[in-house]
């Protein structure tokens, strides 16, 4: 079993990627790491430039497909550039995969949190979701390659709610979402995420 | 570990959602983009939102969102109502500001299903653990009627912009407001021209740069 990490990058978070996100990704020892979007190549990852198509969050759909095509691992972790990976992420993921029989219709959803002062605050990743309809938040997710080949990202409606709608397609095709609550953490580290700044 | 199965999904929902959500994407004329860029740039987080394309045509302008957040803080509000959530951009700012103020209660009235979903999804992913919030997919007058008298501290009116509707809305809101509470409204200048409605109810209208045909903020403080 091999795991690739596809990081979706945007120019405004270049410093965040350099300082927090990429060190956390490289430290995991993934089989492949690619960064798609406005960034640069570096030790431990390949950079794939991507010219903006829509100038909006919808570009992430196409960047994810580029990352999928550029890798070959069995599983793909898609990561938004305002999240870093917990140091134990890979260890947690491998243990989870050892303890469960995940197949091509199973998607693993990381636990998400942010830190405010000394406090760690759990953040929603789409469960139970809107009106009880679950989804996999666009912040991160671990997908079998077969799932993304079955439902490429850009197949989802080109809407700001693309993560919700892509998840609807997967669920209607019989996929299962495995939400983690105490392992496989990703952390929202966007320093500009507070609107009062 | 929670597992969601395919049989949990209502099968006829997705196509409708696909069709309706795609309609959110309305490109702005270039001159508005340039103006908004210039105005938003001094504030990193607003610039980011703008770069992400989250301020679509119809969203409250970023400079006005800042004013709304400042007035929310100044008013020490604990109970907030937003009439017309749209994509949830202003909702997110108000909710995060409430959280910074120590928490509170936040109601969002949004009649259209796909917009209510966008607001709900956006708020559900934010670190606002001390904010009790609810997106009401309902007629705004039902949502206002459901609020107890003297219960609201701060209301943002940004739904149906017809004068008669806004007039009725403010009339319905006034008994629900606490003393010194604020009723604020969008698009009081330009094509909607709602300034006279705010003045009629004892308020004032502020004219600011617009991203579309209408803009500005109306403000009423309850005595």
Model pTM? 0.82
- Residue of B1, B3, B4 to mutate, interface with A, max A Cβ within 10 Å: B4
Q: Which of B10, B53, B93 sits opposite A195 (nearest CB)?
A: B93
Q: How far is CA A159 from the centre of its chain?
A: 18
State whether B25 and A161 contact (CB < 8 Å): no
pLDDT, tens only, A97-144: 999 999 999 999 999 999 888 888 899 999 988 888 899 999 999 999
Q: Catalogue the E-assigned strands of chain A.
A: 3-9, 32-37, 46-48, 75-80, 83-85, 106-109, 111-116, 119-123, 140-144, 176-179, 185-188
Query: How do residues B67-90 score in pLDDT, each as one tens digit?
Result: 999 999 999 999 999 999 988 888
- CATH superfamily membership of B59-221: Vaccinia Virus protein VP39 (3.40.50.150)
Contacts of A3 (CB under 8 A, 6+ apart): A30, A31, A32, A73, A74, A75, A76, A77, A90, A93, A142
Q: Is there a contact between A64 and A143 (Cβ–Cβ < 8 Å)?
A: no
Which two structure tokens, joined as six digits, stand for A83? 């999240």
Out of A57, A133, A161, closest to residue B53 by CB: A57
As a whole number of angstroms, the distance between CA B94 and CA B176 comes to 19
pLDDT at residue B23, rounded to an integer: 42
Contact A158 B17 (CB under 8 A): no
Contacts of B196 (CB under 8 A, 6+ apart): B163
| β partners of residue A130 | A133
Q: Assign B4 a pLDDT band (cuts: 50, 70, 90).
A: low
Can you list the domains of chain A with their CATH numbers?
3-188 (3.90.550.10)
**Among the partner residues A121, A168, A188, nearest to B9 by beta-carbon distance:** A168
Q: Rounded CA gap, B86 and B58, in Å?
A: 8
B185 phi and psi, to 5 degrees? -140, 150
Tell me the chain B residues in contact with residue A160 when contact means C-beta distances shorter than 8 Å.
21, 24-25, 53-54, 87, 118
> Which pLDDT belongs to residue B27?
55
Residue A15 has pLDDT above 70, yes or no: yes
**Using a CB-CB distance cutoff of 8 angstroms, which residues of chain A are in contact with residue B17?**
157, 161, 165, 168
Round the average pLDDT of chain A to a whole number and report it. Answer: 93
Inter-chain residue contact B53 with A134, CB threshold 8 Å: no
**Other CB atoms within 10 Å distance of the CB of residue A94:** 12
Q: Which two tokens stand for residue A31?
A: 């089989």
């Amino acid at each position: 079993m091999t795991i690739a990490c596809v990081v979706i990058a945007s120019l405004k978070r270049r410093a965040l990627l350099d300082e927090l996100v990429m060190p956390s990704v490289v430290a995991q020892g993934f089989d492949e790491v690619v960064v798609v979007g406005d960034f640069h190549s570096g030790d431990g990852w390949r950079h794939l430039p991507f010219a903006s198509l829509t100038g909006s969050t919808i570009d992430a759909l196409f960047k994810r497909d580029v990352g999928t095509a550029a890798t070959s691992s069995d599983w793909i972790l898609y990561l938004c550039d305002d999240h870093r990976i917990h140091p134990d992420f890979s260890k947690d993921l491998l243990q989870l995969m050892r303890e469960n029989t995940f197949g091509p219709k199973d998607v693993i959803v990381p636990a998400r949190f942010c830190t405010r002062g000394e406090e760690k605050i759990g953040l929603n990743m789409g469960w139970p979701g809107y009106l009880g309809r679950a989804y996999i938040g666009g912040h991160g997710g671990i997908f079998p390659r077969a799932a993304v080949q079955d439902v490429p990202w850009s197949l989802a409606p080109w809407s700001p709610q693309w993560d919700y709608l892509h998840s609807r397609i997967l669920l209607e095709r019989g996929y299962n979402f495995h939400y983690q609550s105490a392992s496989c953490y990703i952390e929202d580290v966007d320093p500009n995420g507070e609107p009062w700044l | 570990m929670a597992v969601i199965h395919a049989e949990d999904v209502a099968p006829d929902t997705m196509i409708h959602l696909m069709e309706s959500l795609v309609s959110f994407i309305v490109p702005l004329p270039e001159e508005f983009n340039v103006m908004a860029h210039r105005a938003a740039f001094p504030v990193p987080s607003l610039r980011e939102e703008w770069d992400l394309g989250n301020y679509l045509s119809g969203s409250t302008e970023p400079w006005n969102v800042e004013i709304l957040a400042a007035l929310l803080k100044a008013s020490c509000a604990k109970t907030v109502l937003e009439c017309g959530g749209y994509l949830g951009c202003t909702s997110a700012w108000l909710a995060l500001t409430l959280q910074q103020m120590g928490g509170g209660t936040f109601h969002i009235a949004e009649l259209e299903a796909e917009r209510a979903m966008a607001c709900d999804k956006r708020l559900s992913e934010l670190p606002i653990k001390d904010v009790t919030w609810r997106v009401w997919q309902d007629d705004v007058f039902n949502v206002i009627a459901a609020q107890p008298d003297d219960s609201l501290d701060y209301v943002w009116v940004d739904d149906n912009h017809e004068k008669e509707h806004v007039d009725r809305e403010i009339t319905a809101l006034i008994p629900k407001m606490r003393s010194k509470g604020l009723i604020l409204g969008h698009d009081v200048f330009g094509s909607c021209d709602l300034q006279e409605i705010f003045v009629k109810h004892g308020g004032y209208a502020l004219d600011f740069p617009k991203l579309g045909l209408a803009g500005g903020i109306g403000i009423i403080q309850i005595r």
